[in-house]
Amino acid sequence: MAGCPVFPDDNYWNTPVDGLPVHPRSDQWLRHMSPDSELHPDFGPSFGELSVPYGIPITVVSGAFPLVDVLFRYADESDRVGYPLGDDTRIEGGAGAGGDRHTIVVDRDPCRLYETFATSRVDGQWHAGSGAVWDLRSNWLRPRGWTSADAAGLPILPGLLRVREVTELHRVDHAIRFTTDVTDRRHVWPARHDAGSVTDRAYPPMGARFRLDASFPLDSYRADTRAVLRAMQRYGMVLADNGSPWFFQGESRKGWPPTMLDELKTIPARAFEAVQAGSLMVDPDSGRAADLQP
C-alpha cells in the first residue's frame, strides 16, 4: 500500500486460519447471523443517488501533508493528534452523504495509518465520532477497551478488499472485515472494544473469525471471484462492526466487475464456520500471531 506494508507479515490480519479447529460455539453463532442469507459485497459501482462508488475509500498522502485538529465525540478513546485531512480527503459515501462516513488516510512516508468515523467538516473545522492512528510496520494494538473507527477497536484498512489484488493479481493474502446485526457485549483478541446489544454467548463477539468451508467448490467461479473465496477459506473474515449480516467490505474505487459482485452474492452464509483463533495470540496487547500452520 503506497510502498508500505499493511502491518507485518505475522500480524493477525495476515495470518492463515485454514488449519485451526472449528470454534465450539460455531453453530450457535451462525444460528444468530441470518444463516439462510448470502454474502453481500458492500462495495462496487454506484447505481443510485450515491455520487461515488460504494465501499470505504483510501486516501494516500505524503509526509508533507498538513495536519489538522479534529474534534471527536468519543475523545477519551480517540488518538488526539493531528490528522492529514484536507480538500482531497475521500469520505465514505461522498462529502454530502450520511452513514458511517469513514476516512482512511495512509501517510506513505512514515507508513502511518489514520482512520476516522462519522467524519465531517463544518466551517473549516473537522469533526469525527472517533479517530485512531497506527504504525503500519507495528503489531501494536489500541489500549484495552478503546474503540477506533470500527466498533471492534481494530483498523479497517487491513480488512478491506482492494481492486488491484482481486482483479489484477488474483491474490488476497489477508482476512476480510465483515458485519452482523446482533453481537454479544464482549470482544475477543485482537479486538479491543465491543458494541453489542445482548449479553449472551450464543451470539458472536467482536473480533470473532469465520472462514469459508474448505470443501466449498470454487472451480465454477471467475478468477477474481475465486481469489476472494480462496482468501475466505485461508484467511477468513473478522467480525469488526455491527451492521447488516454478512456484509463484507472493500475499497471505494472504480474497477469492481459487476459480474464478480453478482457471483459473490450467491455464496451462502451456511458455508461458513467460526474458528478458534485465540490460539494465535502471543501477547494480549499485540497483534502478532503465532505460526500454527502445519
Instruction: Give domain status of residue 115, yes or no.
Output: yes
**pLDDT tens series, the chain, 294 aa:** 779 999 999 999 999 999 999 999 999 999 999 999 999 999 999 776 666 888 999 999 998 899 999 999 999 999 999 999 999 999 998 877 788 999 999 999 999 999 999 999 999 999 999 999 999 999 999 999 999 999 999 999 999 999 999 999 999 999 999 999 999 999 999 999 999 999 999 999 999 999 999 999 999 999 999 999 999 999 999 999 999 999 999 999 999 999 999 999 999 999 999 999 999 999 999 999 998 765
* Contacts of residue 59, Cβ cutoff 8 Å, sequence gap at least 6: 88, 89, 90, 103, 104, 105, 106
The β-bridge partners of 180 are 242
Give a yes or no: residue 2 inside a domain. Answer: no
Residue 94 lies in a domain: yes
179 within domain boundaries: yes
Any domain includes 287: no
Q: Does residue 228 lie within any of the structural domains?
A: yes
Rounded to two decimals, the pTM is: 0.95
For the chain, counts of helices (H) and of strands (E): 4, 13
Q: How many residues does the chain have?
A: 294
Domain membership flag for residue 3:
no
As for how many domains the chain has, the answer is: 1
State pLDDT tens for residues 149-180: 999 999 999 999 999 999 999 999 999 999 99
The number of beta carbons lying within 10 Å of the beta carbon of residue 4 is 18
Is 5 inside a domain boundary?
Answer: no
**Cβ(107)–Cβ(84) under 8 Å?**
yes
CA distance 277 to 205: 13
Helix (H, G, I), strand (E, B) or coil at 105: strand
Domain enclosing residue 47, as ranges:
12-280
The pLDDT of residue 50: 67
